[in-house]
Each structure stands twice: as structure tokens, then as C-alpha cells.
């Protein structure tokens, strides 16, 4: 495999991981953030953090999340705006689970003007019959590391390989709530994928129904194909 160019030659900028619940957005975002040295921003993780801290947003989100419904756009956009204020987002980020509605995507457009690099949207595609096992088998560590009792088990059952913490099952990872989440995806988020597919931006579709490493390779290849080379772009502007 060809190595990646130096980080200074290859700046992915803002990257969006799009796809249905369980396609592997978080898994891939966690792997790629280390590679590109930009943070993963998962709105699901941020909301779960609010829930853990019993904030007002956390309490409201808890009710909606446990039913598989989306949290209102204004609240999620404000939460993302807060996160964008942190300096680690200066050179880009990998957004995971956001935007999930057209309203969120339009708000994000207003924020992206702060970046010199254009956004890249990656749609991970997995057949729906595979997703239920992914969701019901998912286990997470308190720090947000992602496992699956069927496809990606920890070395010791129930224990995180990295920090030895106890793995948990998300309470919305049941079959019943999964079906509600799929309904929300079809009703609201499928249109967001079309938004990026058709808005002349940088868009890639990747097969997520293959081993984790192969999905990572496919995303890396897509990002490279859509890459932004500051020097060559400067040349082409002259
Ligand atoms: P999302 O963030 O899209 O909801 P996750 O990254 O949390 O999805 O992955 C959902 C579940 O599927 C997790 O249990 C994860 O370990 C597992 N998983 C992720 N990618 C793959 C893959 N390529 N093959 C098999 N299982 C996977
Ligand atoms: P996730 O961790 O991405 O699977 O999200 C878990 C739950 O958090 C979703 O089912 C929603 O209830 C809520 N959520 C996460 N991200 C968003 C978002 N961008 N907009 C609205 N609700 C969200």
C-alpha cells in the first residue's frame, strides 16, 4: 500500500461521516482522526456526555434518544457551535452523526466559511439486514471506544482492551429503538446525503460491508482522490 503524503501536503479539512445507524461512522472516525491529527466530533457522544452530567440539554436529549428520535436542530447546532470554539478544530475535524437534517446541513454551511478547505462528505453504505446485528451487538467503553460482541469483540469479554474499563450497551441499541432510528434516518437524514451528493461538493460513497480495515482503506482512498493540495491549488489559480 502506498503511504499517505505528509500531513502538510494532505489536509482533509472538514470531513463528514454520513450513513444509517450502525454503518461504522464512529469506528472509522476514531481510526482516521489519529491518522490525520484532527478531532472526531460525534454529536451522539456529546449528547451522551450532557446526559451523564445531567445538564438541561442532557435531560431533554435522554428522552428523545431513548425513543430513537432526533434532538431539535437548534439545540444540536448550538452544541456543535460550542464545540467548534475549541482550538483543536482549527485545521478541520471529522463530524460523525451530524448533520442529520437539512436544517443542520444548512447551518453547517454557514460555519464552513471559516475554513479554507472545502468539506468532504463520505457516505458509508451497509445493507439494512446487516445493521441490526451491528446495533444490538455494539458495546462501548465509558471513554467511547467501540466494540461488537459478534464482529469486533474485546480480548476479554466485557472489558475494554485499551483501558480495562467495563463495556456497556447503549440503551438505544435495542431492536425496537433501532427501527425507530431507521425511521428517523429515512425521514430526515437520507435527504442530507442527497444534499451533499448533489450540491457540487466533494462526495464519496464507500462500501461499509467489509472488514473495518478495508473500509478505512476505501475512505482513505476517497479522501486522497478528493484531496486538497494547497500548493497545486495555488498553481492552478495562477
Ligand atoms: P455508527 O457510528 O455508524 O452508528 P459504529 O461505528 O458505532 O456505527 O459501529 C456499529 C457497530 O458495528 C459497532 O459495534 C462496531 O464495532 C461494528 N462495526 C463497525 N464497522 C464494522 C465493520 N466494517 N464490520 C463489522 N462490524 C463493524
Ligand atoms: P448516535 O450516537 O449518532 O447513534 O446518536 C444517538 C442519538 O443521539 C440519536 O438517535 C439522536 O437521538 C441523537 N442525535 C445524535 N446526533 C444528532 C443530530 N445531529 N441531530 C439530532 N439528534 C441527534
Q: What number does the ligand 1 atom closest to the CA of 148 have?
A: 14
Q: What is the pLDDT of residues 19-76, one digit of tens each?
A: 999 999 999 999 999 888 899 999 999 999 999 999 999 999 999 999 999 999 999 9
The answer, yes or no, to whether residue 5 has pLDDT greater than 60, is no
- Residue spans per domain, the chain: 14-237
The answer, yes or no, to whether residue 7 has pLDDT greater than 50, is no
| CA–centroid distance, residue 184 to ligand 1 (Å) | 19
Q: Which helix (H) or strand (E) holds 112?
A: helix 102-112
Whether residue 69 has its Cβ less than 6 Å from ligand 1:
no
Q: pTM (2 decimals)?
A: 0.92
How far is residue 8 from each of residues 13, 24, 217, 231, measured CA to CA in Å? Answer: 12, 27, 20, 10
* Catalytic annotation, pick one of 48, 51, 100, 139: 100
Confidence band for 225, pLDDT divided at 50, 70 and 90: confident
Pocket test for ligand 1, best of 28, 65, 148 (most atoms within 8 A of CB): 148
Question: How high is the mean pLDDT of the chain?
Answer: 90
Whether residue 107 has its Cβ less than 6 Å from ligand 2:
no
- Class at the top of the CATH hierarchy for domain 14-237: alpha beta
> Looking at per-residue confidence, does 10 or 151 come out higher?
151
| Ligand number nearest to the C-alpha of 99 | 2
* Catalytic annotation, pick one of 83, 134, 139, 181: 181
Amino acid at each position: 500500500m502506498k503511504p499517505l503524503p505528509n500531513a502538510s501536503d494532505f489536509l482533509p479539512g472538514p470531513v463528514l461521516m454520513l450513513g444509517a445507524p450502525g454503518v461504522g461512522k464512529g469506528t472509522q472516525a476514531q481510526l482516521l482522526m489519529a491518522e490525520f491529527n484532527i478531532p472526531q466530533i460525534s454529536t451522539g457522544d456529546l449528547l451522551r456526555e450532557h446526559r451523564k452530567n445531567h445538564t438541561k440539554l442532557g435531560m431533554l436529549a435522554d428522552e428523545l434518544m431513548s425513543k430513537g428520535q432526533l434532538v431539535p436542530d437548534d439545540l444540536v447546532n448550538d452544541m456543535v457551535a460550542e464545540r467548534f470554539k475549541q482550538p483543536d478544530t482549527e485545521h478541520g475535524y471529522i463530524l460523525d452523526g451530524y448533520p442529520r437534517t437539512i436544517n443542520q446541513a444548512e447551518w453547517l454551511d454557514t460555519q464552513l466559511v471559516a475554513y479554507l478547505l472545502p468539506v468532504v462528505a463520505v457516505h458509508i453504505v451497509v445493507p439494512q439486514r446487516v445493521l441490526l446485528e451491528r446495533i444490538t451487538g455494539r458495546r462501548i467503553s465509558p471513554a467511547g471506544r467501540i466494540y461488537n460482541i459478534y464482529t469486533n469483540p474485546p480480548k476479554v469479554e466485557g472489558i475494554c482492551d485499551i483501558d480495562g474499563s467495563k463495556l456497556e450497551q447503549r440503551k438505544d441499541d435495542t431492536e425496537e429503538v433501532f427501527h425507530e432510528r431507521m425511521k428517523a434516518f429515512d425521514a430526515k437524514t437520507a435527504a442530507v446525503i442527497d444534499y451533499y451528493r448533489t450540491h457540487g461538493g466533494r462526495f464519496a460513497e464507500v462500501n461499509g460491508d467489509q472488514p473495518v480495515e478495508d473500509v478505512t482503506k476505501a475512505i482513505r482512498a476517497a479522501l486522497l482522490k478528493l484531496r486538497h493540495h494547497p500548493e497545486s491549488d495555488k498553481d492552478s489559480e495562477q
